[in-house]
């Protein structure tokens, strides 16, 4: 790959073309994952359509993060298939799913602590000539132009995320919310076809959550990328995601618009552990929660 092939716009991205809109970009079929005697994912099947911001919700232990780990190749699956852009990706290792066009973030930010913010981003682009061990000794002239292009892309991404003033800071010194933005920035650097975001708003203040949501929405709108989000914060899910997929006990419980999901009895039962009138009342409450306080559907209410 030559430097000219590196696209300097951090947010321009072609996703369309490969799949017709009626074809899911990601198909999960009959996925099973056992950890010893515990079945974390139980014959789970779901589709994600291209160009959507799809929410993935469910009570703790529903298997959301495990599903992410399976899709992104961090865990080996027990049974089932995962197809991405028409290609089987189950059995791929984590770095291979990246090259297939699928990039993930982690629930707890995993920044490279003692590397600068800029380096955190510059690491990401694929096919870097300088990543060959001998390149710096024998072909240094091939590294420099590519590095300049990557640095430019990284600076633009930092500007997009309003982190550019921190570019030379160690990532370890960032606040929790800034680390979340940095994670998002790393996924953007990859120019992926699809991003898996694991609880982007967890541990982030309401104000920064708004900013993060705005960044996610802008990313989607400007790039046409597909985004799958695990999220407990119902405010985020309601305003950002459509459709929403509900997982419970390792399988898909339902899928629908945020409104449909919030009204659904079975969803409430899965979350709250009771049904009938009480759940209807709870549903009302949640649905009417328009104030910007954090209505943590899964966490606070399920714990009640």
Partner 1 sequence: MDIIYFLAGFGILAGIYGVFTLGLNVHWGYTGLFNIGVAGFFALGAYTAALLTTAPPSPELFEDFVFGGNLANTLQLGIDLWFFVALACAAIVSGVVALVVGAITLRLRDDYLAISTLGIAESVRLMFLNEKWLANGSRGLSDIPKFLGDFVTPKQYDLLYFAVVIIVLAALYFVIQRAINSPWGRVLRAIREDEEATAAAGKNVFRFKLQAFILGAAVMGIGGALYAHGFRYVDPMVFDPLLATFIVWVMLMVGGSGNNLGALMGAFIVWGIWSGTQFLPPEINNPNLRFFLIGFLLVLVIMLRPNGMIGERRRVSEGGT
**Of 131 and 221, which CB lies nearer to partner 1 in the complex structure?**
131
147 binds partner 1 (CB under 8 A): yes
167-172 long-range contacts (CB < 8 A, ≥24 apart) are: 167/116, 167/117, 167/118, 168/116, 168/117, 168/118, 169/116, 169/117, 170/113, 170/114, 170/115, 170/116, 170/117, 171/111, 171/112, 171/113, 171/114, 171/115, 171/116, 171/117, 171/120, 172/111, 172/113, 172/114
110 binds partner 1 (CB under 8 A): yes
Residues 150-189 as x/- pattern, contact with partner 1 by CB under 8 A: -xx--x-----------xx-x---------------x---
Which of 87, 88, 148, 218 binds partner 1 (CB under 8 A)? It is 148
132 binds partner 1 (CB under 8 A): yes
**Of 129 and 215, which CB lies nearer to partner 1 in the complex structure?**
129
Which residue stretch of 31-39, 54-62, 144-152, 250-258 sits at the interface with partner 1 (rule: CB under 8 A)?
A: 144-152
125-134 long-range contacts (CB < 8 A, ≥24 apart) are: 125/6, 125/150, 125/153, 125/189, 125/190, 125/191, 126/98, 126/99, 126/190, 127/1, 129/1
141 binds partner 1 (CB under 8 A): no
Q: How far apart are CA 218 and CA 212, in angstroms?
A: 10
- 3-class DSSP state of 149: helix
Residues numbered 34-93 forming contacts with partner 1, rule: CB under 8 A = 72, 74, 93
Which of 104, 180, 193, 252 binds partner 1 (CB under 8 A)? It is 104
Contacts of 113 (CB under 8 A, 6+ apart): 170, 171, 172
Which residue stretch of 4-12, 139-147, 227-235, 287-295 sits at the interface with partner 1 (rule: CB under 8 A)?
A: 139-147
Which residue stretch of 146-154, 210-218, 251-259, 276-284 sits at the interface with partner 1 (rule: CB under 8 A)?
A: 146-154
Q: Which parts of this chain interact with partner 1 (CB under 8 A)?
A: 72, 74, 93-95, 98-99, 103-106, 110-116, 118-119, 122-124, 126, 128-133, 135-137, 140, 143, 147-148, 151-152, 155, 167-168, 170, 186, 190
């Amino acid at each position: 790959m030559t430097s000219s092939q590196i696209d300097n716009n951090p947010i321009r991205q072609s996703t369309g073309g490969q799949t017709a809109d009626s074809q899911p970009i990601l198909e999960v079929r009959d996925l099973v994952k056992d950890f010893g005697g515990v079945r974390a994912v139980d014959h789970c099947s779901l589709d994600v359509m291209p160009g959507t911001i799809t929410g993935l919700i469910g009570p703790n232990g529903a298997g959301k993060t495990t599903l992410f780990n399976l899709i992104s190749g961090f865990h080996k699956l027990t049974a089932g298939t995962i197809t991405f852009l028409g290609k089987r990706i189950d059995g791929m290792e984590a770095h291979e799913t990246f090259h297939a066009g699928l990039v993930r973030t982690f629930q707890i930010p995993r920044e490279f602590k003692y590397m600068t913010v800029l380096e955190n981003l510059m690491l990401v682009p694929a096919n870097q000539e300088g990543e060959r061990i001998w390149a710096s000794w024998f072909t240094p002239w091939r590294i420099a132009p590519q590095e300049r292009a990557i640095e430019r892309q990284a600076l633009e991404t930092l500007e997009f995320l309003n982190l550019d003033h921190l570019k030379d800071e160690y990532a370890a010194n960032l606040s929790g919310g800034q680390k979340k933005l940095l994670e998002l920035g790393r996924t953007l650097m990859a120019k992926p076809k699809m991003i898996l975001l694991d609880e982007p708003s967890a541990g982030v203040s309401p104000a920064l959550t708004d900013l993060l949501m705005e960044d996610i929405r802008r990313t989607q709108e400007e790039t046409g990328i597909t985004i799958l989000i695990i999220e407990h914060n119902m405010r985020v899910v309601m305003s950002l995601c459509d459709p929403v997929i509900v997982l419970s006990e390792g399988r898909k419980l339902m899928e629908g618009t945020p409104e449909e999901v919030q009204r659904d009895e079975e969803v409430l039962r899965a979350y709250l552990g009771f049904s009938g009138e009480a759940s209807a009342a709870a549903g009302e409450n949640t649905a009417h929660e328009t104030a910007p306080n954090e209505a943590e559907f899964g966490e606070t209410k399920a714990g009640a």
